[in-house]
């Protein structure tokens, strides 16, 4: 990235954001207090996000929910402290920081759901397969063949395409949150998602299971 491009992607942070970044750096006299304060902010956001997703957590509530929120806050805090130099001042620091804890919550909710019941290939398919099939035996065989073809197609994606596809389509991770976590931007992720879907459709068509662009 050129100096001109770097300047274009940065803004002058507001005073509160500048204070956050300065105090969170190791060696600042108020470093420890700032870390504790940020952890508190992240914990509250994590708990709120977990409540919003509580239907995905089954019987998890009370102390277990609090523990998950603390874990998400802990993990997000480590990432944020390691990536302070990535903050470009395009939003308030707390807004930027909270994207990381939302990502951690999304990941933990997904892992919890997977422990209860591993996702099937059908769940990865979201809008890639034709509409629901009937209940005749031949329909079930056709659906199985479609799912097998889809599984092979997903295996043929690049690592980044699979990562973005699963995060956005299965884990319901917001694009902005994923971009912050991966150190990239929305446009790059949309391109990954578009390429992944195009590749899946091409592979499905080659396997004899064409999927219309609208699906």
Residue 21 CA to residue 166 CA, distance in Å, equals 32
For 60-153, where are the E strands, in sequence order?
none
Residue 91 CA to residue 84 CA, distance in Å, equals 14
**79-119 confidence digits (pLDDT tens):** 999 999 989 888 899 999 999 998 888 877 776 655 554 44
Residue 5 CA to residue 13 CA, distance in Å, equals 17
As for how many domains the chain has, the answer is 2
Residues 89 and 171 in one domain: no
Residue scoring higher pLDDT (196 or 19): 19
By the 8 A CB rule, do 143 and 133 touch? Answer: yes
Q: Measuring CA to CA, how many Å separate 70 from each of 5, 47, 86, 181, 198?
A: 37, 8, 24, 18, 39
Predicted local confidence at residue 112, as pLDDT? 64
Residues 158 and 214 in one domain: yes
Of 86, 116, 146, the position where a domain reaches its end is 116
**pTM for this predicted structure:** 0.57
Residues 111 and 124 in one domain: no
Residue 108 CA to residue 75 CA, distance in Å, equals 11
Residues 8 and 93 in one domain: yes
Of 95, 116, 137, the position where a domain reaches its end is 116
Of 77, 92, 116, the position where a domain reaches its end is 116
Residues 30 and 8 in one domain: yes
CATH code of 171's domain: 1.10.10.10
**111-157 confidence digits (pLDDT tens):** 665 555 444 444 444 443 333 334 444 445 666 677 777 778 888 88
Residues 99 and 135 in one domain: no
- Mean pLDDT value of segment 156-183: 80
Residues 204 and 110 in one domain: no
CATH code of 37's domain: 1.10.1740
Q: What is the rounded average pLDDT for all residues in the chain?
A: 77
Q: Quote the domain boundaries for residue 179.
A: 119-215
Question: For residue 7, what are its two tokens?
Answer: 């300047």
Residues 32 and 128 in one domain: no
Predicted local confidence at residue 135, as pLDDT? 44
Mention every residue, 6+ apart, whose C-beta is less than 8 A from residue 79.
Answer: 100, 181
Residues 136 and 93 in one domain: no
Q: What is the dihedral sign for C-alpha 120, 126, 132, 137?
A: negative
Residues 130 and 143 in one domain: yes
Question: For residue 54, what are its two tokens?
Answer: 């509580």
Question: For residue 123, what are its two tokens?
Answer: 């769940």
Residues 129 and 189 in one domain: yes
Residue 199 CA to residue 205 CA, distance in Å, equals 10
Residues 176 and 130 in one domain: yes
């Amino acid at each position: 990235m050129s100096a001109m491009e770097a300047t274009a992607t940065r803004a002058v942070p507001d005073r509160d954001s500048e204070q956050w970044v300065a105090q969170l750096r190791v060696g600042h006299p108020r470093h420890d207090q700032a870390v504790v304060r940020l952890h508190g902010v992240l914990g509250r956001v994590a708990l709120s996000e977990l409540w919003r997703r509580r239907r995905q957590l089954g019987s998890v509530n009370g102390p277990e929910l609090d523990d998950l929120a603390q874990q998400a806050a802990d993990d997000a805090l480590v990432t944020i402290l390691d990536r302070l130099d990535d903050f470009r001042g395009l939003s308030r620091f707390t807004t930027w920081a909270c994207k990381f804890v939302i990502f951690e919550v999304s990941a933990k909710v997904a892992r919890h759901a997977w422990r209860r019941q591993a996702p099937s290939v059908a769940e990865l398919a979201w809008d890639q397969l034709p509409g629901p099939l009937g209940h005749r035996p031949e329909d079930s065989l056709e659906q199985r063949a479609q799912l097998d073809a889809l599984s092979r197609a997903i295996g043929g994606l690049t690592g980044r395409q699979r990562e973005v596809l699963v995060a956005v389509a299965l884990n319901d991770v917001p694009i902005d949150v994923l971009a912050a976590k991966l150190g990239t931007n929305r446009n790059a992720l949309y391109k990954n998602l578009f390429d992944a879907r195009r590749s899946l459709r091409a592979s499905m068509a080659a396997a004899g299971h064409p999927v219309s662009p609208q699906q």
